[in-house]
Amino acid sequence: MGIREFPGGAPGGKSIAVGMRRSPDVSPRRLSDISPQLRQLKYLVVDEAIKEDLKWSRSVEDLTSGPVGLTSIEERILRITGYYGYQPWAASYKREERPRDSPGPAEAQAPAGAEAGGRTSPHCWRCSRAQLKKMFWGVAVVLCVCSSWAGSTQLAKLTFRKFDAPFTLTWFATNWNFLFFPLYYVGHVCKSEEKQSVRQRYRECCRFFGDNGLTLKVFFTKAAPFGVLWTLTNYLYLHAIKKVNTTDVSVLFCCNKAFVFLLSWIVLRDRFMGVRIVAAILAIAGIVMMTYADGFHSHSVIGIALVVGSASMSALYKVLFKLLLGSAKFGEAALFLSILGVFNIFFITCIPVILYFTKVEYWSSFDDIPWGNLCGFSVLLLTFNIVLNFGIAVTYPTLMSVGIVLSVPVNAVVDHYTSKIVFNGVRVIAIIIIGLGFLLLLLPEEWDVWLIKLLTRLKVRKKEETAEGGADLGSGPQSKSRRARPSFAR
């Protein structure tokens, strides 16, 4: 227990502030364990500035601790007596006695690399350069995601004017997934210090499927279902492009983020967040308004239903992947996507053949197929999936999601000049609502705690600046009167 004396009006002419430190060998669990310390609290006289610091610190800690944000009376008393290592007055009145271990809330706003003489430490300069580099890569990834997703959508719309076969286009583009693992291995050879052969790298990545690696049973139970979901997601999306314009398709597909949250909340028991429920409601409202924008015609209703189905399949793919396989490293993800391409080649190829002979998706000759459009669409879709799966290595995941939202205005501009789309008030409001819901879903889980801490630090900093400004104003006239005072000494 540390006792410090201050001039004041306590019993005996002194005011004492008691800072009780936690004993390393004692861990009290009941109030009876600290009854001697509690009896000393009735003699405690705390200065007003200390009370203010204590009030701020306790309010923040109470808000951020516990599931409800409230603490019991016993925990409050234990915190006040110092047994939880909480000594608010120690930081205020003992700065001259000992060095500070960690900066306070107001000090966190100051430049972390400031040293004596106003210099910046090289370590913090390196950190800032690393952050700037990550942000630069983030901008590049956003542009790549936006351009590849919008470009593939527009190119698919253009392809259907000459080649009306959405499932065949889906099958052709999915076959290119086979290139994922070879491209990853090329990057591994170029960047990794420890070179591994293709077989060694393949065996190491196969551990993702279990101790036995990629067996036939694992292939049909853990890879084949995702191959079906992948094909359905892309087919429904491309088929919807035939029914409605690309702007509506791209903005409605953004609802898959809301569907992922709802499925994760139900299936994975993820944390409930009110702001994400609001985002899901906004997404559903946007879907209804988008349907109303075209007057509930059968053609547009079918197209919107196809897009919503595609978004649902995409959400189901992501949730089931997390449920059955968990999280994957870069090599494991590349191998998994290549396996989806192999599954598509061996087991989905029969469906386009059946559609061709039944003349559901028929073309007169192979010379009439726009191979340039098909290959261009496949390359753009492959680029989009590569950046979306591996872009996290160079930038933040949130920026990659922003690239998908930015493809909506790009498609809107293209549709404005190439089609007869009418941007009435209902359609514009629906686009804004769905985009707002998508952005709300990008908020981190602890966004409310961060916001409370930020507001508290800003208030503390404003309070210190006000106190410093008052001190400067108080010392100014005093020094001026001293300089202006005449001397009568002879």
How many helices (H) and strands (E) the chain has is answered by 20, 2
What pTM did the predictor assign? 0.67
Q: Confirm whether 41 is domain-assigned.
A: no
Q: Confirm whether 34 is domain-assigned.
A: no
Q: Confirm whether 37 is domain-assigned.
A: no
Distance set, CA 11 to CA 44, 45, 46, 310 (Å): 10, 10, 13, 77
Residue pair 4/46 in contact (Cβ under 8 Å)? The answer is: no
Range of the domain at 321: 133-450
Tokens linked to 59:
């309010």
**CA 232/CA 75 separation, integer angstroms:** 55
Determine the pLDDT at residue 386.
92
Q: Confirm whether 165 is domain-assigned.
A: yes
Determine the pLDDT at residue 442.
80
Tens of pLDDT, residue by residue, the chain (490 residues): 444 444 444 444 433 334 444 444 444 445 555 556 555 555 555 555 555 555 444 444 444 444 444 445 555 555 555 444 444 434 333 433 443 333 333 333 333 334 434 444 444 445 577 778 778 888 888 899 999 999 999 999 999 988 889 999 999 999 999 999 999 999 888 887 788 888 999 999 998 888 888 899 999 998 999 999 999 999 999 999 998 889 989 999 988 888 888 888 888 887 777 787 888 888 888 888 888 877 766 678 898 999 999 999 999 999 999 988 888 888 999 999 999 999 999 999 999 999 999 989 888 888 888 999 999 999 999 999 999 888 877 777 777 888 888 899 999 999 888 887 778 888 888 889 888 888 888 877 777 677 788 888 888 888 777 777 666 555 555 544 444 444 444 4
Q: Confirm whether 243 is domain-assigned.
A: yes
Determine the pLDDT at residue 344.
95
Give pLDDT tens digits for 264-279: 888 888 777 778 788 8
Contacts of 64 (CB under 8 A, 6+ apart): 449, 452, 453
Tokens linked to 248:
């509506």
Determine the pLDDT at residue 99.
39
Q: Confirm whether 65 is domain-assigned.
A: no
Question: Cα dihedral angle (253, 254, 255, 258), rounded to 10 degrees?
Answer: 140
* Rounded (5°) CA angle 421-427-429: 150
Question: Cα dihedral angle (30, 32, 34, 35), rounded to 10 degrees?
Answer: 150
Per DSSP, the residues of 63-103 read: HHSSSSS---HHHHHHHHTTTTS--HHHHHH-TTTS--SS-
**CA 358/CA 246 separation, integer angstroms:** 29
Write the Ramachandran bin of 47: left for phi over 0, alpha for psi from -120 to 50, otherwise beta. Answer: beta
Domains held by the chain: number? 1
**CA 478/CA 35 separation, integer angstroms:** 49
Pick the closest to residue 430 from 305, 298, 294 (CA basis): 294
Determine the pLDDT at residue 95.
39
Q: Report the first-to-last Cα separation within the chain, whole angstroms.
A: 57
Total number of residues shown for the chain: 490
Determine the pLDDT at residue 464.
75
Per DSSP, the residues of 370-438 read: -HHHHHHHHHHHHHHHHHHHHGGGTS-HHHHHHHHHHHHHHHHHHHHHHS-----HHHHHHHHHHHHHH
Determine the pLDDT at residue 364.
80
Determine the pLDDT at residue 226.
95
Q: Confirm whether 111 is domain-assigned.
A: no
Tokens linked to 42:
């009735």
Tokens linked to 65:
């601790």
Determine the pLDDT at residue 234.
95
Determine the pLDDT at residue 168.
94
**CA 262/CA 105 separation, integer angstroms:** 36
Give, as one character, the DSSP assignment of residue 200. Answer: H
Q: Confirm whether 469 is domain-assigned.
A: no
Contacts 24+ apart (CB under 8 A), 348-354: 348/171, 348/174, 348/227, 348/231, 349/171, 351/167, 351/171, 352/165, 352/167, 352/168, 352/171
